[in-house]
Amino acid sequence: MTQGKSRVFSGIQPSGELHIGNYLGAIKNWVALTETYDCVYCIVDLHAVTIPYEPSELQRRIHDLAIGVLASGLDPERCTLFVQSAVPEHAELQWLLNTVTPLGELSRMTQFKDKSGRVDTINAGLLNYPVLQAADILLYLADRVPVGEDQAQHLELTREIARRWNGRFGEYFPEPQALIGGGKRILGLDGASKMSKSQNNVIPLLADEEELWSVIRTAVTDPARVRRDDPGNPDVCNVFSLHGFFTSDEERAEIDGLCRTAGIGCVDCKKRLAANMAAELAPIQERAAELRAHPERVREILHEGARRARAIASVTLGEVYERMGLERHES
């Protein structure tokens, strides 16, 4: 089934409730890519422990994330979905790749600088985060990685690590290419920064219409439109741009016209968004409820995914050990 197809690898952190930024920006694209590529998708729990987190919540977050991804339409028969820590080769390869990664490159990573500015003590895991990411990708000899802008630098470093390792131990790892176009940047309720849990500006994916409405009503619209009878400008309104994902062309054209002539107020425009969003998300929520009622099904999918992933990963790691002059001992 997978022969001749290029391989895609991508990872997602189990760091919070799924929101429509994840859905529109990443997961919808994950689903679409399974049509064309041999896709390996990973819930990266080992990455998630590099920042402060609650250990007693981690398993639930992983499980919920798997539910969200599956409910969004990812078919586990048509890709490999697994949890990073279930395949110990990730951590093992990371250690080996550390030995060809220049410290200077790691300390120059924008995300490292951002994150380390927000914690009291900078742990080495935060610094080595991109090496684990490189191990994720290289372990599957993946040649395509769907990335948003914020991960482009990490992917560039992955390529450099592959080059350096190949230079030292012989040509083996392909240099993975970015698959651009998928990683759309979805703005949050503030209409200014990327939708993200840390910005506290998210619209949850698994919310009913009432809940959707209660968050969407707080969304920032065209700042120049102060009163109900001021004409608005949909071109600069984040609520209008969200309509772009959930509302028919016809209805959008109507709203566009009404907004410019103050024929519709922001409240009604938001109500329509909440209703259209609820309609698109309803089947996802139904599937999520179904999976939530059958946790063993989710565990089975992840278990099978890990088994398939491990079959690939252990071959790669065997080759790496051999080329590095190490011996792999039977466990």
Q: Which residues are catalytic?
A: 115, 194, 197
Report in angstroms how near the CB of residue 46 gets to ligand TRP at its nearest: 9
Residue nearest to ligand TRP (CB): 11
Question: Please, what is the Cα angle at 116 between 98 and 26, to 5 degrees?
Answer: 75
Report in angstroms how near the CB of residue 47 gets to ligand TRP at its nearest: 5
What burial class does residue 133 get, using C-beta atoms within 10 Å of its C-beta: 0-12 exposed, 13-18 middle, 19+ buried?
buried
Rounded distance, CA 65 to CA 40, Å?
A: 16
CB of 188 closer than 8 Å to CB of 201: yes
Residue given tokens 């230079």 in the structure block? 167
Cα torsion 280, 282, 285, 287: sign: negative
Do strands 177-179 and 38-43 pair parallel, antiparallel, or not at all (unpaired)?
unpaired
Q: Which residues bind ligand TRP (CB under 6 A)?
A: 9-11, 13, 44, 47, 133, 136-137, 145, 151
13 vs 29 by CB, closer to ligand TRP: 13
9 vs 240 by CB, closer to ligand TRP: 9
Report in angstroms how near the CB of residue 122 gets to ligand TRP at its nearest: 17
| Start-to-end C-alpha separation, the chain | 31
70 vs 147 by CB, closer to ligand TRP: 147
115 vs 308 by CB, closer to ligand TRP: 115
